[in-house]
């Protein structure tokens, strides 16, 4: 059996696992990131987590095929540098070299966390039965993305692409954290949905949405929870789905993947989200029924997608386009 270590570095926790060549998780675990103590401490914690998982499986690092790591923000894959991740304090940080100090003869691969998750879901999760291509869209604080083409990760020149959240879908629209206006993220992140729910409450003091106890309690679920009993909530959801289907149709027309994998808490809505979205997407696909359909599926691996995808970077079949 071959062993592949995967690490998913998050703002608050580092998650990790060891998988075999079939994608079976042999062990998985987590540790606090402690980003506030600086990047060298984060790397020390990564090493501690790796060691912990090695002893859980009862193997030595030399018996593994290597470590794959997904980190937030922009990365330089070739040089192994975390270029910028605001919430982790990474600025031009040579994370691979630093981790290699702990494991001098181990293969270490780096990618962006959203890309790692997309690869994990493509190989082992929601898109494992689709082999020509998948786009993963994660609706969270922002809108993250990952693109998989024939089971290889595609992230553009120096892995700086796949920033699908930063595709303008309404020029001149809502301001985005990236500095542009009208980005997909500025309409379809959980953050945007919360903003729109609060705005609707302000405009409609009569809305049942107020039952939750005030605007401070709004989450990405609130509008969905009230959509069947409150017109205001229904309008918020309808508008959200319009923008979401618009962004997904753009990705479908440009990449024409077999499948779009949706991730993030909003997906807990299940069919209430996916069914209308699929109908709307079908109508917006270029060429209508002449071309192949693009199926929307919900991410399956949850927290595991990141470390599983990262681990797979050391598979012999692994390939970054």
Residues making contact with a copy of itself (CB under 8 A): 74, 83-84, 132-133, 149-150, 154-164, 166-173, 178-180, 182, 242-243, 246, 249-258, 283-284, 286-288, 290-292, 294, 321
Q: Which of 246, 8, 245, 257 is nearest to 112 (CA)?
A: 8
Q: For residues 32 and 321, which CB has a smaller minimum distance to a copy of itself in the complex? A: 321
Neighbours of 11 (CB within 10 A): 12
Q: For residues 167 and 267, which CB has a smaller minimum distance to a copy of itself in the complex? A: 167
Write down the least CB distance from residue 7 to a copy of itself, Å: 23
Q: Which of 284, 18, 266 is nearest to 144 (CA)?
A: 266
Structure tokens at 153: 């990760």
Q: For residues 47 and 164, which CB has a smaller minimum distance to a copy of itself in the complex? A: 164
Q: Which of 129, 132, 95 is nearest to 110 (CA)?
A: 95
Write down the least CB distance from residue 191 to a copy of itself, Å: 17
Interhelix angle for 304-312 vs 113-124, to 10°? Answer: 90
Three-state DSSP at 175 gives strand
Interhelix angle for 271-284 vs 231-255, to 10°? Answer: 50
Q: For residues 66 and 133, which CB has a smaller minimum distance to a copy of itself in the complex? A: 133
What is the C-alpha to C-alpha distance for residues 207 and 234, in angstroms, rounded to an integer?
11
Write down the residue that tokens 């705005």 correspond to: 199
What is the C-alpha to C-alpha distance for residues 161 and 115, in angstroms, rounded to an integer?
10
What is the C-alpha to C-alpha distance for residues 224 and 233, in angstroms, rounded to an integer?
7
Neighbouring-strand partners of residue 175: 181
Q: For residues 55 and 92, which CB has a smaller minimum distance to a copy of itself in the complex? A: 92
Q: For residues 19 and 244, which CB has a smaller minimum distance to a copy of itself in the complex? A: 244
Q: For residues 55 and 131, which CB has a smaller minimum distance to a copy of itself in the complex? A: 131
Write down the least CB distance from residue 76 to a copy of itself, Å: 9
Write down the least CB distance from residue 73 to a copy of itself, Å: 9
Write down the least CB distance from residue 197 to a copy of itself, Å: 19
Write down the least CB distance from residue 201 to a copy of itself, Å: 23
Please state the φ and ψ torsions of residue 183, each to the nearest 5 degrees: -65, 155
Q: Which of 279, 278, 238 is nearest to 259 (CA)?
A: 278
Write down the least CB distance from residue 258 to a copy of itself, Å: 5
Write down the least CB distance from residue 306 to a copy of itself, Å: 21
Q: For residues 18 and 147, which CB has a smaller minimum distance to a copy of itself in the complex? A: 147
What is the C-alpha to C-alpha distance for residues 120 and 266, in angstroms, rounded to an integer?
20
């Amino acid at each position: 059996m071959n062993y592949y270590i995967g690490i998913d570095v998050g703002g608050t926790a580092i998650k990790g696992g060891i998988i075999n060549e079939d994608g079976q998780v042999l062990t998985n675990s987590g540790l606090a990131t402690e980003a506030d103590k600086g990047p060298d401490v984060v790397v020390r914690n990564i090493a501690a987590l790796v060691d912990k998982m090695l002893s859980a499986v009862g193997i030595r690092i030399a018996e593994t095929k290597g470590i794959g790591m997904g980190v937030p923000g922009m990365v330089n894959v070739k040089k192994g540098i975390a270029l910028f991740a605001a919430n982790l304090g990474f600025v031009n940080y040579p994370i691979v070299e630093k981790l290699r100090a702990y494991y001098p003869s181990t293969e270490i691969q780096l990618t962006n966390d959203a890309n790692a998750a997309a690869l994990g879901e493509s190989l082992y999760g929601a898109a494992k039965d689709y082999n020509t291509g998948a786009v993963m869209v994660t609706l969270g604080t922002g809108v993250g993305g990952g693109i998989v083409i024939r089971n290889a990760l595609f992230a553009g020149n120096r892995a700086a692409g796949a920033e699908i959240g930063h595709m303008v879908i309404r020029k001149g629209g809502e301001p985005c954290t990236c500095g542009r206006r009208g980005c997909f993220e500025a309409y379809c992140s959980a953050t945007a949905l919360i903003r729109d729910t609060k705005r609707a409450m302000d405009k409609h003091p009569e809305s049942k949405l107020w039952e939750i106890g005030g605007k401070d309690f709004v989450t990405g679920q609130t509008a969905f929870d009230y959509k069947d009993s409150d017109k205001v909530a229904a309008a918020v959801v309808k508008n959200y789905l319009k923008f979401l289907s618009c962004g997904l149709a753009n990705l479908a027309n440009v990449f024409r993947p077999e499948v779009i994998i949706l991730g993030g808490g909003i997906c807990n809505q299940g069919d209430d989200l996916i069914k209308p979205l699929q109908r709307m997407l079908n109508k917006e696909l270029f060429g209508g029924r002449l071309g192949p359909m693009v199926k929307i599926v919900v991410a399956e691996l949850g927290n595991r997608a990141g470390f599983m995808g990262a681990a797979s970077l050391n598979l012999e079949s692994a390939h970054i386009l």
